[in-house]
Structure 1
Amino acid sequence: MKISEMKNIGVVNEEKLAQVGINTPDELRKLGTEQAFLKIRHLVDDGACLHLLYGLEGAILDIPKRELSERRKSELRDFFRHLN
């Protein structure tokens, strides 16, 4: 499976992930949502937003990002807020 075939990850985000050395779904799962996001934000897209963070989490969990639990969304929002 290609990363772009994962839920919430299209060709654009697949390219961003590839630019930071994440080329397979397993690599993304092993690294985790927050660390993958930090790599993209620091190395490729300093404007990476909360929706990308949600999308990465949904991809790892194999669910649409809108189906993330409110608790997990809150954790991710806190993580994102502390980056700024």
Structure 2
Amino acid sequence: MSVDPLHDVVPSEELLNLGPKSARWLEQVGIRTLGDLKQTGAVAAYLMAKRKAPQCSLNLLYALEGALTGLPWNKLSEKTKQRLRTAVQNE
């Protein structure tokens, strides 16, 4: 993903789909901004958060992908969700 200095500094707690709890999980693994999330990617960020907070569900994975693509997590296609689940399983 390309770097966009105007948007990449947006704090994780202000990203689409992410609430305070999700933002805390991300902060615990060093993801504090949209730029950090872009650099890490949704799958890697989810796996990092899941290691720190095992209660994270796949909804976090979908929320992260939605934050990166600008879509509400519940509007992701089933194909996209399957691709994400497969990527997580292959890690």
Cα distance in 2 for partners of 1:13, 1:3 equals 8
Which residue in 2 is equivalent to 1:54? 62
TM-score w.r.t. structure 1 length? 0.86
Within a 5 Å distance, the mapping from 1:35-74 to structure 2 comes to 35-42=44-51, 44-74=52-82
Query: Displacement of 1:68 after TM fit?
Result: 1.1
Could you say which residue in structure 1 is the equivalent of 2:38? 29
1:2 is displaced (CA, Å) by 1.8
Pairs aligned (count): 81
Matched-pair contact (CA < 8 Å) for 1:6–1:62:
no
Q: Matched residue of 2:54: which SS?
A: coil
The TM-score with structure 2 as length reference comes to: 0.80
Runs of 4 or more off by more than 2 Å in structure 1?
Answer: 77-80
Measured on the aligned residues, the alpha-carbon RMSD in Å equals 1.5
User: Which residue of structure 2 lines up, in the alignment, with residue 5 of structure 1?
Assistant: 14
Unmatched 5+ residue regions in structure 2? 1-9
1:20 is aligned to 29
Residue by residue over 1:63-82, the C-alpha shift from the partner in whole angstroms, topping out at 9 and shown as x without a partner, is: 101111221111123344x3
> Secondary structure of the residue that 2:71 maps to in structure 1?
coil
Give the gaps of 5 or more residues in structure 1. none
